[in-house]
Structure formats: C-alpha cells, structure tokens
A and B are shown apart, each in its own frame.
Chain A
Amino acid sequence: RKEVEQDPGPFNVPEGATVAFNCTYSNSASQSFFWYRQDCRKEPKLLMSVYSSGNEDGRFTAQLNRASQYISLLIRDSKLSDSATYLCVVNMGTGGFKTIFGAGTRLFVKA
C-alpha cells in the first residue's frame, strides 16, 4: 500500500462547479498535512495546511480526519485558473523526518 493515496484523476468540471478531492495516508504517526498545487512544469506551491478542526481559505476548504487517516479538499465555484494538479502531502516523523507526496489529482476546469 502506498504511504499516501489520492483519488485517481483527471477531474473535468465546468466553471462554477464544486469539486472534492480525497486522500488517505497509511502511517498513523504522521504529523502534519498539506495540499499543494502544481502547475505544469513548475514546482509545487503550498495551497493550504490541513487541520482536524478544518481549514477554510476563500473557496477552498480542507479537512483532516485522524481516526480514518483521511484528508479532503473542497473547491467551490471552480475557476478556469484552478486547473492544475493537486497534491496531498504528509510529513512523517518516524524513522527520519520526510515529506511524502500523493500521486496527485489532475483538475481541468472548462468554460
């Protein structure tokens, strides 16, 4: 089983749609969680951190469920500019601290 698994993509949605991405992680001792966005041929950029209490930033809402080892990202009112790959990222502190990426979910928002 992969350490971090994400929904297979791609997601093709019209502008204005609401889209949800899911992610699960295998290591229960994982310490911190993030969603990153990666545009084609560019480095990943932090979108938002993920907390058990939930985290909202404008049209984006992230949620963490530690008991289920599950992370989600909700994008409301999708814009064309939201088209990108969204990466679920987990920091693991056991056996040496390291950052593990999910495979990414490609989102296409169309007019």
Chain B
Amino acid sequence: GAVVSQHPSWVICKSGTSVKIECRSLDFQATTMFWYRQFPKQSLMLMATSNEGSKATYEQGVEKDKFLINHASLTLSTLTVTSAHPEDSSFYICSALPAQVQAFFGQGTRLTVV
C-alpha cells in the first residue's frame, strides 16, 4: 500500500510555544491531505483538508489561525500548532488518499503541552 510518513511521532512542548508536524506521501503525489485530531477514548475528528497550492479548508469549530496548514508541494503538508496550550494536547494524524480511494495514514504525532 501507499506510504504516508508523519514526523515527529511525539513531542513535548511548553505552553505558548509553537509545534510543527510534517506529513509526507513517500510513494505518491497527494494534492489533498487531511489532518485529524483524536482525544483519548474518542474517534478521529477531521480538522482540515490541506490543498496543495491553495488555502486549507477548515472544519467548523477549528481555528485556522491557531492550526496553520501549509501544503507547499505534492508530497508535503505541515500542521503548525501555534501558541500551544495544555488543551491542545492530543494525537494528531494526517492522511492522504491516492486516487481518492482508501485513506493511508501517517503514524500520528502525540503532542503534550506542559
């Protein structure tokens, strides 16, 4: 299957700092990638759709100025959590769909804000 690589797999940061998470499609080009967030014992919630060369589309309730998404190339999308706070601590996962069929996921990033 297709390979999506996400980095870092875990990060601990101080409150008020920013954290960047990278999502790469290793063996296919992805014009669209998706960013999800998952809190403990809850399902994945779609945060935003990342579009190569254009602005991301954010789901209702997700602050676009806090969760900055950049999709500068066909193989890389980044999510930056700006001015992180403890309530932003979560599991962040990206996905991409080669040929818009099944989704392949990155390994996820566990963010802890202290």
Contacts and interface: CB of A to CB of B under 8 A. Distances in A.
A82 to B, nearest CB: 19
A42 B45 CA distance: 15
B65 to A, nearest CB: 21
23 contacts: A32-B101, A32-B102, A34-B103, A42-B108, A43-B106, A43-B108, A44-B44, A44-B93, A44-B103, A46-B103, A87-B43, A91-B103, A93-B100, A97-B32, A97-B97, A97-B100, A99-B34, A99-B97, A101-B36, A101-B44, A101-B45, A103-B42, A104-B43
B105 interface: yes
Given A41-B91, A98-B34, A91 B100 contact: yes
A86 to B, nearest CB: 11
A2 to B, nearest CB: 10
Contacts of A46: 1, 102-104
A35 to B, nearest CB: 11
Contacts of B1: 46
Interface residues of B, number: 25
A100 interface: yes
Contact of B102 (A43, A49, A97, A98): A49
Nearest to A87: B43
From B57, B100, B102, name the one whose CB has the most chain A CB atoms within 10 angstroms. B102
A34 B43 CA distance: 15
Given A43-B107, A46-B102, A91-B97, A98 B44 contact: no
Interface string B89-114: 00101010100111111111010000
Contacts of A89: 103
